[in-house]
Structure 1
Amino acid sequence: MKILYFSRDYTPHDHRFLSALAQTPHTIYYLRLERSARQLEDRPLPPQVEQVQWLGGRRPLAWRDYPRLLADLKRVIRRIQPDVIHAGPIQSAAFLAALSGFRPLVSMSWGSDVLLDADRSAWMRWVTRFTLRRTTVLAADCRTVQEKAAGFGFPRQRVVLFPWGVDLTRFQPGRADEFRARRGWQDAFVVLSLRTWEPLYGVDVVARGFARAARHNPRLRLLLLGGG
């Protein structure tokens, strides 16, 4: 089977998904929609994955780019003749895939696309509804996304719940005696937050909540390891 994996950019999540797909007997193609100003992942594609060269994936995305990208996406589909397209987020890569008319389409929500972006304007609500109506299966990482998609008319029974989890090759349980000793935290209860410091992720709520809790429990410590 030939799978066209179509994503907005190239992120650690994309690397993980493509690495898993590369271990299957299927032929995997990767299509990148944009190249953002900030590099998000520096690991190369798995050697089993073929990156498709096309008009996209060279600069940040703008709505005015969609007509020419749609025409070139149709050319890519005719050349590759995939058996399935896996595309996301909803209002970018999945929207273009839906516009192409290709089926079957597996649309993958990245969480904030359905939970936040879908309600930013009447246009975004239309784009979301248009894409979901032309989606064969929706991959979502939690029931909250499933329920929000249902509010746009997408059948719950066609949602695959797939929590993304963590990369255990990078994050795994272990002893941290030296780390704690350097900070005098041997007996501390440590709270770890890895979210990017953007309003979307509520890191300010974590900080305020921690400050209130620490007044009652002096053993608490907080590590904010995101950035932004």
Structure 2
Amino acid sequence: MYMKILYFSLGYCTHDHRFLKSISDGGHEVFFVQLEGNQRLVESRPVPKNVTQVIWKGGREPFRWSNLAELTLDFRRLTREIKPDLIHAGPIQTCAFIAVLSGFSPILTMSWGFDLMDDVHRNKWWEWVTRYTLKRSTFFTSDANVTRDKAVIYGMNPEKTVVFPWGVDLEHFSPSTDHWSLNTDHFTLFCNRSWETRYGVDVLARAFVKAAQQNERMDMILLNGGSQSGHLRQILQNGGVLDRVTFGGQISQTDLPRWYHMADVYISPSHVDGSSVSLMEALACGLPCLVSDIPANKEWVVENENGWLFRDGDADHLAEKILAAISQRENLSQIGRASRWSAEMRADWKKNAEVLMNTYRSLMERN
């Protein structure tokens, strides 16, 4: 079934690229609308072929509530001119809210995780916007059960929801054949979460200081960046371990697997998450994963099976778990195989993207 899809997102990141490409590869006509444009540009690959980038009043600057009426009116104009069969929009309180206000239907509202696990709690206005949007959305999708359950709490009809992990390319993210024979001199931790408060990298920094003082052969790789850069470096500097940390910066998707292969354990100290794609990438690369015990992570990591859980926000407990992982190094290859199996069972983007296509078809049939 051919469809004309209007895909509405904050900017253009790796996740947007994968959705746009899957929609286009599925034979559908795709119109890509950005709310904030290059303000959130973190994807080096060009927009996929056969995707039409739409020029409108948005996409030039960060979203401001004072511009809501103007943006909504212009978005309504887009829907009249493009005449899409459906709109795929998210996050909830920005893109999906504007789509709902435009009066168009059907709308597939997609949670990005942080919108339901963090943004909804900002104040009463954000909570009201969340309820308003979900109650008026035709259908809802998210990548974790915890976000789906939150959506239902805020008014989404539970019978009009679908959950599927966004997944990864299992051929691109795969284990290194000689991984465990290469990493013998040092024990390397790896984290590529953004340096923002919600992702808890400062917790990891404090834990690394504590653990590194007890093990001289341990080092760490931190990728990405963010507003906590100065704070993180200060923690590491004061702890005397700054020289044992490699700062890799922003890494392209093409080169990213090589960085996973340098590590012995992947760590995600996030306080807020849906099904983390970086966690799925680590699992696919066959890495044992040490993650905070938030609900979304518990959907992926089973203690002593494919990794371990630590108490969210507890740097001391994380340090203990790091040292415990080092002490059982001989078991890490087995745990890594379990990680890869977890990814193969649930994180195959090729399979999971088909769930999205089926959701589109179902929406069209319902409509």
Structure 1-normalised TM-score? 0.87
Aligned residue type for 1:153: G
Q: Secondary structure at 1:186's aligned position in 2?
A: coil
1:124 Cα deviation from its structure 2 partner: 0.3
1:36 Cα deviation from its structure 2 partner: 4.6
1:150 Cα deviation from its structure 2 partner: 1.6
Partner of 1:203: 201
Aligned residue type for 1:92: T
Which one has the bigger helix percentage?
Answer: 2
| Range with bigger deviation, 106-115 or 159-168 | 159-168
Aligned residue type for 2:90: G
Question: 1:78-111 CA deviation, whole Å, 9 max, x = no partner?
Answer: 1111111000110111000010111111011110
Pick aligned residue for 1:224 from 222, 231, 247: 222
Question: 1:60-83 CA deviation, whole Å, 9 max, x = no partner?
Answer: 221111111111111110111111
1:227 Cα deviation from its structure 2 partner: 1.7
Q: Secondary structure at 1:30's aligned position in 2?
A: strand
Partner of 1:49: 51
Aligned residue type for 2:175: P
CA distance in 2, matches of 1:86, 1:147: 20
Runs of 4+ in 1 over 6 A off after TM superposition: 215-219
Partner of 2:11: 9
1:5 Cα deviation from its structure 2 partner: 0.4
CA distance in 2, matches of 1:69, 1:62: 10
| Range with bigger deviation, 206-215 or 133-142 | 206-215
Question: 1:122-145 CA deviation, whole Å, 9 max, x = no partner?
Answer: 100010000001111111111111
1:127-142 matched pairs, under 5 angstroms: 127-142=129-144
Contact persistence 1:36–1:60 (CA under 8 A): no
Partner of 2:238: none
Aligned residue type for 2:143: D
CA distance in 1, matches of 2:105, 2:11: 22
1:104–1:159 CA distance, 2 compared to 1 (3 A)? same
1:115 Cα deviation from its structure 2 partner: 0.8
Partner of 1:108: 110
CA distance in 2, matches of 1:44, 1:142: 28
1:24 Cα deviation from its structure 2 partner: 0.9
| Range with bigger deviation, 213-222 or 40-49 | 213-222
Unaligned runs of at least 5 residues, structure 1: none
Aligned residue type for 1:160: V
Q: Secondary structure at 1:224's aligned position in 2?
A: strand
1:2-151 matched pairs, under 5 angstroms: 2-37=4-39, 39-151=41-153
1:38–1:74 CA distance, 2 compared to 1 (3 A)? closer
CA distance in 2, matches of 1:55, 1:186: 55
1:224–1:42 CA distance, 2 compared to 1 (3 A)? closer
Aligned residue type for 2:136: R
Aligned residue type for 1:7: S
1:9–1:150 CA distance, 2 compared to 1 (3 A)? same
Q: Secondary structure at 1:15's aligned position in 2?
A: helix
1:54 Cα deviation from its structure 2 partner: 1.3
Q: Secondary structure at 1:85's aligned position in 2?
A: strand
Unaligned runs of at least 5 residues, structure 2: 227-367
1:148–1:172 CA distance, 2 compared to 1 (3 A)? same
Structure 2-normalised TM-score? 0.56
Pick aligned residue for 2:190 from 183, 192, 199: 192
